[in-house]
Each structure stands twice: as C-alpha cells, then as structure tokens.
Amino acid sequence: MKQQLTALLLMMGLGFLDQPAAAQQYGPPDRGQPGDRMIQNYLEQETAKIHAKFLTNVESIEDWTKLREQYKQQYLHMLGLWPLQEKTPLQATVTGTFRGDGFVVEKLHYQSRPQLYVTANLYRPERGERLPGVLYVCGHSSRGRNGSKTAYQSHGIWFARHGYICLIVDTLQLGEIAALHHGTYREDRWWWHSRGYTPAGVECWNGVRGIDYLVSRPDVDPERIAVTGISGGGAATYWISSADERVKVAVPISGMADLSSYIPNRVINGHCDCMFLYNTFRWPWTRIAALIAPRPQLFVNSDQDRIFPMDANERVINRLERLYSLYGVGEQVDSIVSIGGHAYRRDIRRATFRFINIHLKNDPRPVTDSEIDLVSGPRNNRLHPIPPQQLRVFPTDADLPTDELNTTIDEHFVPLALVKTPKKGEFNSWKKTLLAELRRVTFGSLPERIPAAKLVKKAKESSIVQIETEPGIHVPLSSLSTQKPTGNSKRVLLLVQDSNAPQGLPEWVKSIVQPGDAVYQLQPRGIGSTRWTRKNPPNTVRRSHVLIGRTIETGRVRDVIAAARFLHNRLKGNVPVHVVGENASGVIAAYAALWEPEISGVVLNSPLLTHMDSRTPQFLNVLRVCDVPDVLGMLAPRRLTVHGQSEGELQKTSEIYAAAGAPNNLTITPPAACP
C-alpha cells in the first residue's frame, strides 16, 4: 500500500520523500494589534521546543517501554480521566429494532457514568456468534434530534453484512441529547481550562464504555475489537485506542495533525474543543498516536484537507513508522492519502474495511462492495438507506430522559479538589503537598526559579522601560511615583495592571502608598501596548496556549515574578517588593507571590475568588488541586492585605493563616470600609 502511495505522489510531482510539503496555514496571521507578532512568534518558538522532543532519549524499545506506563497516566490525566473513574453499571437499554436486508439494527442507549447517556445504533447480522466488534465514532455531521450516528449508517450496514457487530455512537454535541463541544471556541467557558475539562475526555470515556458494552455481548469476540471514524471520529479513534488496550485495530481517518500545524499555522481555528486534550505535560502531539503501538494502525488522510494538512500528515506518519520499527513491527502501521478534501471516498472506505478485515479476520482480499447503501444527495436533501427518524433511540422528545447530565456534564465530569484546611502544626506539609501538585499539573511550563527580567530599552525622558521577562516577551514597566527606589526606600509596590483598568495609579492604590514608597506598574503580556487580536470565535491565542501546556495567565504570572526580581536586584535586595493587584490582576499577583520568595507581601483589591468564574485568571487543572482562597492561604506567613472582600468570603484563608501561626499577618477590609 505504501509503495503504491509513493508512486502516485511521485507521478503527481509531489516528491514527498525528497522534500517536505509546504506548510498549510488556516487563514492569515492577525496583524491588527501591537502584540500580535510577539505572541505569535512566542507560540511558534515554544511549539518548536515541544515538537522536537518526540522519542528524545529513546533509542530502543526498552527505553520506550520504561516510559510508556508513565505516559499512559499522563495521557489519561490530560483528558480529565485520571485517576481512573469507576466503571458504573451501563444500564444498557434497547428501545427498538429495525430489520434491513441481511442485517438488524438495535436502537439503544447506555450510561457511560450515571446520567450521562450515550445514544447508539448497533448493526449486526441476523444471526451469528462471537463475531468481531467495531466501535464506530462519529464526526461532526449534524442530524439534529436523529443524532450524528444516522449520517454514518452505511458503515454499520457494511460491517453487519460482512460478519461484524458494529456499534455507532453519537457524539456529545451532536447526539439525540445535544450538549456542547465549543466551550472555549466560542462560549467563553474559560473555566474549562482550570477544571481540566475537555469534551475530548467525554468522547474517549463514552467510547471506552461502548467497548465495555460490546464485549459484554455473547455475540462479540472480545479479542477482536476495532475502532474507526472520520474527522471528530478520527480524533476520537485516537482518544479511545490510546486509552484502551482492548482495541486491537485502529483506523483514524482525518483525525490528527500536530502542534506545528495547529499553532504556528493556526489550523486550530478549524477545530472545536473535542479535537484537543490540554497538553499539561507538554507532549509532541504524535505521542498520542504512539500509545497505540505496536497494535495495527492505519493512518488515513486526504491531500487537500485544510484542517489536516499534508505537511502534518507526513511528519506524523514518519514518526509513527520510526516507533513501530523499534518494536520490529513496521508492517503494523500504514498510511494512505486520498486525493480530495475532507470527506470519505471509495479508496478510503475500501482501505478501511480491508485493513480491519486483515487484522480481525485474517482476510487480505480487496474490498469491492464498499459503495453500497451510501448516504447520498445534496447536503440539504440527503438520501439515506434507512430513514434517520427510524433510527432514533428516543422516538419523541417526551421519551428523552429527564435526569440527563449531558447538557451540564462540563460541571461534573472532572471532580473539583476538596482541600481540607490544615490543622495547627500541619501547615508546612500541607502547603508542600499542594505546591508539588500545582507544579506537576498546572505550572510545569515554568522553570523552578524564574530569572529576573532583563532591561531591553529605556526611553529618554520617560518613566517607562521595556523588560524581557522570557525570551521573546517584552513588556513595559512604568514608574508611577517621583520616589526613585534607593537603599533608603521603604518598599517597592509593583502594581499589576488589570486588562480592564486604565494605565496609571488607581485611587485605591494611592490610599495605601506610604511616604518613601516607590511605585511601579507592570503591563503583563497581552495588556495595553502588547495586546493581541481577540476574536470569539476562534480565540486563537488563548486556545493555542493550552496545547503547549500553559495559559496566557501562566505567562502573566511569569511576567510579574520576573519584574519583581528585576526591581529587587536593582536595589540589591535591601528594599522589600510588594505586589499589588485588583480583580483579575489581584489573582495574578497572588500566584506570583506564591512562586517567588523575594516578593515580601501582597495587597489586593476585590480579587476574584474562584476559577469557576470565567473572568478569573485561568490556569491548567488548578481546580483539580485548589482554588483561590487556598492559594491566598498558602501565602502565609507573608503579609496579605485584601480590600473589598468580607471575612466570610475569606474564612478559609483566615483559617489557613491561623494554622500557619500568622493570623495577624492577614488583613481583610470589607467593601463598605474599602478605600
């Protein structure tokens, strides 16, 4: 198959073995704001660092095997599935059947977890025992109340007529109970990042439980299970096959590009949130597919697919071939490229069916009947072999379950951390444990100690200097007082500018400035003079950050720390630096103090108190570890002053300060008394 593909490409003049394909971009880069080039260059350089790490320090299969179990746990964590969820009873229910020509369709639903309903159609021969099973996962083909499964019925029919049991499952968003894939793409549910929730995790779990259902049936051979699907179903094929070793054959069709495509070339803009996990552990993307090895895998794509472009296809398959060769089973991974856009065609169907036949039935014969019973016709008038309404699991709206959690599953799927208040004498060990987990799953992209910023430029007769907080990131630092920092200064106040606040000294800050204070204001990246273009959808910059294991607010925390150390070093450590912030910037200031011991104190005004609020700065997975009041408590025993919040709202923070033996170092000023 590979030789035929190579010959075809060479005949077309593509010559992919001699030179890489030109990178395909999904639209031109934004150029409307002053910070666009800076953030785009930064994302590209950070992507390149991660992309280069595939099989780093892996020279043998023994090296890979030693890492594989760790990778598997990291992978499940990045989907929101680790620690592993309990496999609760499926409560599988068949609501009706449809008899066709040589096959039967069972209309059924199961609960992948209590009250999370998965609607599905199971295609089977009229009779047969211990047949191989196929889990078919759907792409983004909207069929309204009928569910996306009805768009792919021809695949179920083919498999049933050829001696398979095929379960076609609806997606979360496009099933009979319509939920949401687009939380960060267009719905501003930025707390998904802090919660560690991605609909990719739901699609994976629904598929794993679908396999549970298949292997529970007496007519399915549990040792012969395949997974396949196109587009969103191609991505889901990866999610499921990499998570579940029971999958013996994987045929993902147009389901994966790589970071170099998604981010620098902005192909991310063509995808909703179900196509991505949050790259907490900063993986080169192909490592996801590598977890399927050494099981048979057919990598299927099209040469004119804008959202899965050829340059990425070539990089992914080349890396997979290298890994499979370490196993000594290079023949177990193969690829085909179909000529055309993002769609099924005859060559894709034939290759898919044949590959599954080879590895589940030991039948290598060419497939000649792949074009029977296809869904056809124009988009607004599709012709279906089976009328879609006849495949509904819940025939009428009145039949839909009233206890469903599908539409609010983002609020339940990944558990929130339950952080107990430390008892007296336990504060240090309590804090150490939380910091270690935050470092592992939230702030792993930051160095252990963030270096001081470097002076880049100082304008003549200006109080503003440009500092470099990390390579490629330049932000302004302004003096807001006539008091220049000297060894005789009382303290330095570093004000973190909020994105919605005007530049300059707010009234509430003026009220806390003491004689001898030197006041500076920092505009972290993306604010003021370094702001970048924001379009909703597709929220390119914010969504791209999580693919390299951080958020934009992670970068802003780094900016504050680097600036604080810059000021601290200028004064040779003799003058304490306090960080100051309001609303969202107050949360940034608090996290900066959490990671930087040279920050002596924190002053906040009306800080946002939970990451479940999309206005609050978001950090990957933070809600799986703690929330804002816990972080404020971890600042003990340093001085913390909070204006504009009641003692009741910060009761937990107060209890933590008491446990740390520093209750007098926390001052809370309620809103009525706020300056």
Locate tokens 């000594």: which residue? 328
Q: pLDDT (tens digit, 9 = 90+) per residue, 233-282?
A: 999 999 999 999 999 999 999 999 999 999 999 999 999 999 999 999 99
Q: Which of 603, 584, 608, 583 is nearest to 593 (CA)?
A: 603
**Mean of the pLDDT values across residues 321-336?**
98
Query: Which of 92-101, 152-161, 200-209, 490-499 shows the lowest mean pLDDT across its residues?
Result: 490-499
Adjacency order of strands within the sheet including 116-124: 93-99, 104-113, 116-124, 165-169, 131-137, 220-230, 249-253, 297-302, 333-338
Q: Which two tokens stand for residue 132?
A: 């191989």
Q: Is the pLDDT of residue 376 over 80?
A: yes
Strands 116-124 and 104-113: antiparallel
Residue type, 40: Q
Residue 87: the pLDDT is 98
Q: Is the pLDDT of residue 557 over 80?
A: yes
Q: pLDDT (tens digit, 9 = 90+) per residue, 139-165?
A: 999 999 999 999 999 999 999 999 999
Question: Rounded to whole angstroms, what are the CA distances from 499 to 526, 582, 629?
Answer: 8, 10, 22
Residue type, 339: I
Cα angle value 300/301/306 (rounded, 5°): 160
| Residue 122 exposed, middle or buried by CB count within 10 Å (0-12, 13-18, 19+) | buried
**Mean of the pLDDT values across residues 649-674?**
92
Name 28's Cβ contacts closer than 8 Å, sequence gap at least 6.
none
Domain ranges of the chain: 2-411, 427-673
Residue 461: the pLDDT is 63
Asked whether the beta carbons of 581 and 604 are under 8 A apart, the reply is yes
Residue 570: the pLDDT is 86
Residue 482: the pLDDT is 62
What sign has the CA pseudo-torsion 547, 553, 557, 560?
A: positive
Residue 457: the pLDDT is 82
Q: pLDDT (tens digit, 9 = 90+) per residue, 17-30?
A: 233 446 889 999 99
Query: Which of 1-5, 11-15, 17-21, 166-170 shows the lowest mean pLDDT across its residues?
Result: 11-15
Q: How many whole angstroms separate alpha carbon 390 and alpha carbon 149?
A: 12
Q: How many whole angstroms separate alpha carbon 565 and alpha carbon 178?
A: 50
DSSP 390: G
Q: pLDDT (tens digit, 9 = 90+) per residue, 298-314?
A: 999 999 999 999 999 99
**Mean of the pLDDT values across residues 318-345?**
97
Asked whether the beta carbons of 393 and 119 are under 8 A apart, the reply is yes
Q: Is the pLDDT of residue 487 over 70?
A: no
Q: How many whole angstroms separate alpha carbon 324 and alpha carbon 327?
A: 5
Q: Which of 354, 385, 260, 275 is nearest to 310 (CA)?
A: 260
Q: pLDDT (tens digit, 9 = 90+) per residue, 410-438?
A: 999 999 999 999 999 999 999 999 999 99
Q: Which of 158, 162, 198 is nearest to 180 (CA)?
A: 198
Q: Is the pLDDT of residue 127 over 90?
A: no
Cα angle value 268/272/277 (rounded, 5°): 75
Q: Which two tokens stand for residue 191?
A: 């707390």
Residue 542: the pLDDT is 98
Query: Any bridge partners for residue 643, and if so which?
Result: 605, 669
Helices 584-595 and 552-570: crossing angle, nearest 10°?
A: 60
Q: pLDDT (tens digit, 9 = 90+) per residue, 179-190?
A: 999 999 999 999
Taking the whole predicted model, whether its pTM rises above 0.85 is answered as yes
Report CA 241 to chain centroid distance, whole Å.
18
Name 478's Cβ contacts closer than 8 Å, sequence gap at least 6.
463, 464, 465, 503, 520, 521, 522, 523
Q: Is the pLDDT of residue 390 over 70?
A: yes
Residue 17: the pLDDT is 29
Asked whether the beta carbons of 393 and 167 are under 8 A apart, the reply is no
What H or E segment, with its residue span, contains residue 318? helix 310-327
| 427-673: CATH architecture | 3-Layer(aba) Sandwich (3.40)
**Mean of the pLDDT values across residues 209-232?**
98
Q: Is the pLDDT of residue 674 over 80?
A: no
Locate tokens 């990425």: which residue? 312
Query: Any bridge partners for residue 476, and if so which?
Result: 466
| Fold agreement between 2-411 and 427-673 | yes
Give strand ranges (E) for 138-253. Answer: 165-169, 220-230, 249-253
Q: Is the pLDDT of residue 460 over 90?
A: no
Long-range CB contacts (< 8 A, 24+ apart) of 330-334?
332/293, 332/294, 332/295, 332/296, 332/297, 333/293, 333/296, 333/297, 333/298, 333/299, 334/1, 334/2, 334/297, 334/298, 334/299
Give strand ranges (E) for 588-654. Answer: 599-605, 639-643
pLDDT band at 574 (very low <50, low <70, confident <90, very high): confident
Q: Which two tokens stand for residue 511?
A: 């009220």
Q: How many whole angstroms separate alpha carbon 372 and alpha carbon 288?
A: 34
Average per-residue pLDDT for the chain: 94
Query: Any bridge partners for residue 458, and if so which?
Result: 465
Asked whether the beta carbons of 243 and 74 are under 8 A apart, the reply is no
| Residue 664 exposed, middle or buried by CB count within 10 Å (0-12, 13-18, 19+) | exposed
**Mean of the pLDDT values across residues 491-519?**
90
pLDDT band at 1 (very low <50, low <70, confident <90, very high): very low
Residue 555: the pLDDT is 98
Name 369's Cβ contacts closer than 8 Å, sequence gap at least 6.
158
- Backbone dihedral region for residue 504 (phi beyond 0: left; psi -120 to 50: alpha; all else: beta): left
Residue 502: the pLDDT is 80
Class of domain 2-411: alpha beta
**Mean of the pLDDT values across residues 107-119?**
98
Cis previous bond, 538, omega within 30: yes
Residue 11: the pLDDT is 32
Percent of the chain with pLDDT over 90: 89
